Amino acid sequence: MRTFQADIIRDHFVINDNGRKVLVDTGCPLVITEENKNRIHGGCEALDSARSNVSPDIDEFRGLEYFCNHKVLFDYKNAKVIVADANEALSVENPVAEFDLKNVPGRIVFTANIGGMDRGMVFDTGASITDYMSKPIAETGTYFDTIEDFHPNLGKYTVKRYELPVKVGEETLDVPFGVQPADVEPHVRAVGADGVIGVGLYKKYQVLIDLPGKKMILGR
């Protein structure tokens, strides 16, 4: 088991792994580095975007390729990322909800009750500024605000956000969802999801992702 003290930069988890500054992004299926970025479609854009919008000295964009055989605990409150082997015990402090993960390679996909209906969602720690939902669903919520966000393939853009209730165990959260960009929508739909959620969960809960056990557990 390895415990990393994280730098929280623009609400991203950034860790130091043997002298390498690593941005942990569960929405990315791959590990992208300076050495392999030219061999990965969109690799240069992903790494450049991390350096431009998060920290200029990012060495690695660490996605699910690294975590696929592990459990990983994201603890925003204590600024920690804990990585354990599949056979090691790792848990949240006070569990409040558990979700089954769908069998989708390279993505963390689960079902949550949002706006009174079951919605497929991608858990993405790269969604650090806002969460996202397909436009027809997002616009059923209450207008919240308009903000600026960025995406490796889109650059910076403004997005309208709408608040929707999200059921988490016995609790209900009001979470602002941005309208999912049209260029991103097909990729989210392709994995059977309606939207992407990150900051709306991990700022409020410890999030344990057990990829071998296909579980996501939230706790306090």
- C-alpha–C-alpha distance, residues 40 and 211, integer Å: 23
User: Given this structure, which CATH class describes domain 2-219?
Assistant: mainly beta
What phi-psi label fits residue 67: left (phi over 0), alpha (psi between -120 and 50 degrees) or beta?
alpha
In this predicted structure, what is the pLDDT of residue 150?
85
Q: What share of the chain is helix, strand, coil (3-state, %, to 5)?
A: 15, 50, 40
Rounded mean pLDDT of 29-55?
Answer: 91
- C-alpha–C-alpha distance, residues 216 and 58, integer Å: 27
Specify the amino acid at residue 179: V
Task: Sort 182 into a burial class: Cβ within 10 Å, 0-12 / 13-18 / 19+.
Answer: exposed
What global pTM score does this model have? 0.94
- C-alpha–C-alpha distance, residues 80 and 73, integer Å: 8
**Pair 92, 206: CB distance under 8 Å:** yes
Rounded mean pLDDT of 20-44?
Answer: 93
| Residue extents of the structural domains in the chain | 2-219
pLDDT grade, residue 42 (50/70/90)? confident
In this predicted structure, what is the pLDDT of residue 151?
84
For the chain, the farthest-separated pair of C-alpha atoms sits apart, in whole angstroms, at 46
- C-alpha–C-alpha distance, residues 214 and 123, integer Å: 13
Q: Is the dihedral of CA 72, 5, 15, 157 positive or negative?
A: positive
Rounded mean pLDDT of 150-158?
Answer: 84
pLDDT grade, residue 23 (50/70/90)? very high
Instruction: Work out the mean pLDDT of the chain and round it to a whole number.
Output: 95
In this predicted structure, what is the pLDDT of residue 140?
97
55-109 pLDDT, tens digit each = 999 999 999 999 989 999 999 999 999 999 999 999 999 999 999 999 898 899 9
In this predicted structure, what is the pLDDT of residue 192?
94
175-206 pLDDT, tens digit each = 999 999 999 999 999 999 999 999 999 999 99
In this predicted structure, what is the pLDDT of residue 176?
98
In this predicted structure, what is the pLDDT of residue 105?
87
**6-to-137, 181, 185 alpha-carbon distances in Å:** 34, 29, 30
